[in-house]
Amino acid sequence: MDKSTEKSTGYDPSQLEGKWYSYWEQKGYFNSKPDEREPYTILIPPPNVTGVLHMGHMLNVTIQDILIRKARLDGKNACWVPGTDHASIATEAKVVRKLREQGIKKSDLTREEFLKHAWDWTDEYGGIILSQLKKLGASCDWDRTAFTMDETRYQSVIKVFVDLYKKGKLYRGNRMVNWDSEAQTVLSNEEVLYKEESAKLYHVRYQIAGEDKFITIATTRPETILGDTAIAVHPDDPRYAPYKGKKAIVPMLGREIPIIFDTYVDIEFGTGALKVTPAHDPNDYELGKKHNLEVIDVLNDDGSISEAGQLYVGEDRFKARKLIVKDLEAKEHLVEIEDLVHNVGRSERTNSVVEPKLSLQWYVDMQQLAEPALKNVMEDVIRFFPEKYKNTYSHWMSNIRDWCISRQLWWGQRIPAYYIDDKVYVAETVEEALAQAQAELGDHIKAADLKQDEDVLDTWFSSWLWPISVFNGFESREELDYYYPTSVLVTGWDIIFLWVARMIMCGYEWEDKFPFKDVYFTGMVRDKKRRKMSKSLGNSPDALKLIEDFGADGVRYGMLSCSPAGGDLLFDESLVDNGRKFTNKIWNGVGYVLNLQTDKAVIQPEANKLAIAWINAKMNETLKKVEKSFSEYRLSEALMTLYSFVWNDVFNGYIEIIKPPYGEAGDVATREASIDLFEKMMIMLHPFMPFITEELWHKLRDREEGEDCIVASYPSISDVDNSALLSRMELANSIISSVRDLRNKHQLSPKKAVKLSAIDNDEISACLDEAGMESIIKKMANIEELTMLQTDEGVDGNSFICGKTKLFAHLDLEINVEEALPKLEEEYKRQVAFKAGTEKKLSNERFVAGAPAAVVEREKKKLSDSKARIAALAEEIKRLGGSI
């Protein structure tokens, strides 16, 4: 028979998720307005506007949603602001590529035409990712959706630029920059990724002018020979001392260049002689400045050889390298080719090899900005989770370099700097710039004389304003005063410098206050073999497909069940499958109790009353643990605590106890108590699994308008001390497990009822004095008779020890002494050793005097329990004929 029709179908999220999401949206539960409540604010790290949902987003967004939903249940004014990032380089590159496919070259378009295409692209693909977040259950205030290029955010950027300029914290400088010749723009240091790559080290000999001697240099970049303006050697290097004051001749070109002496040169590396190309190497540039060398830039912006190179003009730098090596060889300049592994910097966005290049760019002076940002993190005014990232942060902040913010692109905020010849006017509008120019140069200056900077600003120059700009904070204080600073930032540690550090600096610069109280760093999502998720490896699952297959709640569980803050998430489909199983378990467990028949005539058994008291005590413990975990952002731990409570305590414990005999009806009071329990359970689970909990919440009771799980009140923690009840139940459970184990070992069916007897003591009697406890033990362990004995003399049966209580199961079995004795003896030895250790501790005056009273008490209890166990073990060993 087909199983799917034979069996009940379990939890099916496909219909429910969409239904509840629109219900919440329509009720306005995600929306936030300032009011008298305490705000709890999170800003989404804006994903690329044209991006699609990937595993990293899923983890990041799930964490934020859990925190926001928890805050909402805690009665705070929860506000989660969504938005997207214009990602200038990445988006512009995509648009350029798309236009190229249509046969359109960017260079053929005007700025306005290009931007039109870019906006079309943004409008077409933008927001796809936001709708995908909804599938996960993200409870963002969609009315607040912001975009780093929208009007408000654009104006914020312009204002900030002008403000920094006025404060003198912004300058324009001619410096060595990182040039991405594919995107044809400059990159900040943080956008360059270094990786070890194998390369060739070419040894090339240069003739000494007027002599028949040669000096051999080593280079990885022979094509830059065209730009050589010196050869440098170490002043202490005896090999090259004779060349003092001489000149060398650049191969192929015949240009005479000086031989200079500088301690920068490493005598050990290569040949000890270095060719100097000030235009194409940061160190060479410094050398050039020091020794007054000519700067010959032999590369065009697209990475091809420029006119200044004289040879191979127009050829790409890599092609030119091959050509010149061939020619050098032909002319006997090439001495040797050595293999070398060195670090190569590549563009984060286009992966092309970054070219050092001399260029005039805008910079932010970071020194003053960094100061409060560093101090407040180190003093935990802003807390990092995990804390270890403070080290990384501190290291970077203490060695911070100025931030190059101009980009040679069109897609972004255009730099509000206007030029007339070498005069610069920075202003929010052309009119203001004009006014400035006229004031300085005279009224004859017209707007048309002003040329605005062609470049746009680094995307991060708009992202760093996010905590203020999303509330329109550079324009008005209305919302900023309520929502700022935000509660927590959830983001990946990989953008700690690009984004996190800069937001902190921004916060102190314009608000004189941190932008967020806490920062939760998520790890990378990797596959089971610890490889990064990547398209080329094909190891990245389709996020939406996962939601379809396992349900959003299942996926959320999977993402969170194993991802400590800052630690990598090793994703495996089994994780989300466990999540799916968990939703199924909840669905069936709650459904089972709801479908139980009740009968008013059935009197509530004592066992049920006890089970209810116990499960509520357990729940209180669970609440405490979960609360603590949340306060430390240990979300996986909170989830696992809930998982264990729900699955082990509620479903495997509580429900098994209150289950009426097959086919019989249950009592009304127990059902009511169960519904109360489930109701609280739904609230506790809601932040992690919003959909199933909302659905079941409505199945549990008839609800009034507005009475929804998402806005319910989180259960409060009780101060009542339940430890006695909990430890008695623990003893009962231990007895139950032992009896089950005995059956297992002797291959007995669980259906075979057994007789049990216990040797009386204070522990077991207190346990059994709880009304209903005896019947719980009998039911769960299938005991037909439980008797108390004063002594074990003459008792026949399989003995075991729980806590300090000795019990006998009367199974009518031959007792296998040979098997039982060694185990008992081993346990006895272990126990004696433990007792000795405890005694030693307690007899140590310094321990008794020095340790806290509670610790000493605990040790005393351990000792007395241990003694009781030893006595019981000794008796049993003797009874079986062993000796101690």
Partner RNA sequence: GAGAAUAUAGCUCAGUUGGUUUAGAGCGAUGCCUUGACAGGGCAUAGGUCGGGGGUUCGAAUCCCUCUAUUCUCACCA
Interacting positions 626-655 with RNA (CB under 7 A): 628, 632, 636-637, 640, 643-644, 647-648, 651-652, 655
Is the CB of 12 or the CB of 332 nearer to RNA? 12
The binder of RNA chosen from 672, 707, 741, 769 (CB under 7 A)? 741
Q: Write down the least CB distance from residue 852 to RNA, Å.
A: 6
Taking each helix axis from N to C end, the angle separating 552-560 and 543-550, rounded to the nearest 10 degrees, works out to 110
For 823, other C-beta atoms within 10 Å of its C-beta total 9
What angle do helix axes 552-560 and 128-136 make, rounded to 10 degrees? 90
The radius of gyration of the chain from alpha carbons, rounded to an integer in Å, stands at 37
CB of 347 to RNA, least distance (A): 14
- Min dist CB 1 to RNA, Å, is 9
d(CA 673, CA 697): 15
Q: Which is nearer to RNA, 333 or 414 (CB)?
A: 333
CB 789 within 8 A of CB 758: yes
Q: Which residues inside 157-196 make contact with RNA, applying CB under 7 A?
A: 189-190, 194
Is 727 an interacting residue with respect to RNA (CB under 7 A)? Answer: no
- Selected binder of RNA within 221, 246, 779, 810 (CB under 7 A): 221
Write down the least CB distance from residue 214 to RNA, Å.
17
For RNA, which is the closer residue by CB, 701 or 840? 840
- Comparing CB distances to RNA, the nearer of 433 and 635 is 635
Q: Which stretch binds RNA (CB under 7 A): 152-160, 317-325, 578-586, 687-695?
A: 578-586
User: What's the rounded Cα separation, in Å, for the pair 20 and 686?
Assistant: 13
Burial track 577-613 (b if 16+ CB lie within 10 A, e otherwise): ebbbbbbbbbbebbeebeebeeeeebebbebbbbbbb
Residue from 34, 750, 765, 822 touching RNA (CB under 7 A): that is: 750
Q: Is 574 in the site for RNA (CB under 7 A)?
A: yes
* Segment lying near RNA (by CB under 7 A), choices 7-15, 106-114, 116-124, 305-313: 7-15
Looking only at residues 23 through 62 of this chain, which bind RNA when binding is defined by CB under 7 A? none
Q: What are the CA-CA distances from residue 322 to residues 209, 327, 343, 576, 724 (Å)?
A: 26, 9, 20, 51, 82
Cβ nearer to RNA, comparing 120 with 741: 741
301, 107 Cβ separation under 8 angstroms: no
Nearer to RNA (CB atom), residue 171 or residue 592:
592
Q: How far is the CB of 808 from RNA (least distance, A)?
A: 18
Q: Which residue has the tokens 């270890």?
A: 388
The upper half-sphere exposure of residue 339, i.e. CA atoms within 13 Å in the direction of its Cβ, equals 2
Q: Give min distance, CB of 75 to RNA, in A.
A: 25
The minimum distance between CB 522 and RNA, in angstroms, equals 13
Any residues with CB less than 8 A from the CB of 438 and at least 6 apart, and which? 445
| N residues, the chain | 884
Structure tokens at 807: 């019990």
Contacts of 703 (CB under 8 A, 6+ apart): 697
Secondary structure of residue 54 in the 3-state scheme: coil
What residues have CB less than 8 Å from 828, skipping those under 6 apart?
Answer: 870, 873, 874, 877, 884
Q: Is 106 in a helix, a strand, or coil?
A: helix
The distance of closest approach from Cβ of residue 493 to RNA in the complex, given in angstroms and rounded to an integer, is: 8
Answer whether the bond into residue 386 is a cis peptide, omega within 30°: yes
Count CB neighbours of 417 within 10 A. 22
Helix axes 690-700, 552-560, angle to 10 degrees: 120
Decide whether 191 or 770 has the Cβ nearer to RNA. 191
Q: Which of positions 676-715 make contact with RNA (CB under 7 A)?
A: none
User: With contacts defined by CB under 7 A, how many residues of the chain interact with RNA?
Assistant: 98
The smaller minimum CB distance to RNA, of residues 174 and 399, is found at 399
Of 134-142, 217-225, 288-296, 473-481, the window that binds RNA (rule: CB under 7 A) is 217-225
Rounded-to-integer distance, Cα 313 and Cα 623, Å:
73
Q: Of residues 809-868, which lie at the interface with RNA (CB under 7 A)?
A: 830-831, 834, 840-841, 844, 846-847, 850-852, 855, 858, 862, 865-866
At its nearest, how many Å lie between RNA and the CB of residue 570?
5
Q: Please tell me whether residue 259 binds RNA under the rule CB under 7 A.
A: no
Question: Per rule CB under 7 A, is residue 744 in the interface with RNA?
Answer: yes
Q: Which range binds RNA by CB under 7 A, 155-163, 416-424, 602-610, 732-740?
A: 732-740
Give SS3 for 549.
Answer: helix
- Token pair for residue 182? 């594919």
> Residue 327 Cβ, how far from RNA at the closest point, in Å?
19
* CB closer to RNA out of 68 and 781: 781
- Which residue, 130 or 296, is less far from RNA as judged by CB? 296
Q: In the window 230-249, what residues touch RNA (CB under 7 A)?
A: none
Site for RNA in 374-433 (CB under 7 A): 388, 391-392, 395-396, 399, 401
Tokens read off for 617: 């005590």
Q: CB 558 → RNA: shortest distance, Å?
A: 10
What residues from 579 to 618 belong to the interface with RNA (CB under 7 A)? 581, 584-585, 588-589, 591-592
- State the residue for tokens 């629109």: 22
Q: Pick the closer one to RNA by CB: 12 or 236.
A: 12
The residue from 497, 516, 521, 550 that contacts RNA (CB under 7 A) is: 497
Which one, 94 or 778, has the nearer CB to RNA?
778
- Rounded-to-integer distance, Cα 626 and Cα 637, Å: 8
As a whole number of angstroms, the distance between CA 159 and CA 176 comes to 28
Decide if 78 contacts 29 (C-beta within 8 A). no
The rounded Cα 407 to chain-centroid distance in angstroms is 29
By C-beta, is 132 or 641 nearer to RNA? 641
Is the torsion defined by CA of 659, 662, 663, 664 positive or negative?
negative
Which residue type does 306 have?
S
Interacting positions 432-491 with RNA (CB under 7 A): none
Rounded to a whole number of angstroms, the minimum distance from the CB of residue 122 to RNA is 29
| CA-closest candidate to residue 417, choices 426, 405, 430, 429 | 426
88, 156, 219, 799: residue in contact with RNA (rule CB under 7 A): 219
Distances (CA, A) of 879 to 162, 247, 822, 832: 92, 104, 14, 19
Q: Does 6 interact with RNA (rule: CB under 7 A)?
A: yes
Contacts to RNA from residues 509-548, by CB under 7 A: 528, 530
Q: Which of 73, 218, 296, 370 binds RNA (CB under 7 A)?
A: 218
Whichever of 282 and 485 has its CB closer to RNA, that residue is: 282
Q: Report the residue number, 456 or 575, with the smaller CB distance to RNA.
A: 575
Min dist CB 810 to RNA, Å, is: 19
Quick one: which of 487, 480, 489 has its CA closest to 511? 480
- Please tell me the distance from the alpha carbon of residue 274 to that of residue 230, in angstroms, as a whole number: 9
Q: Which 260-289 residues touch RNA, going by CB under 7 A?
A: 264-266, 268-270, 272, 274-275, 281-283
Q: Using CA atoms, how far apart are residues 479 and 477, in angstroms rounded to an integer?
A: 6
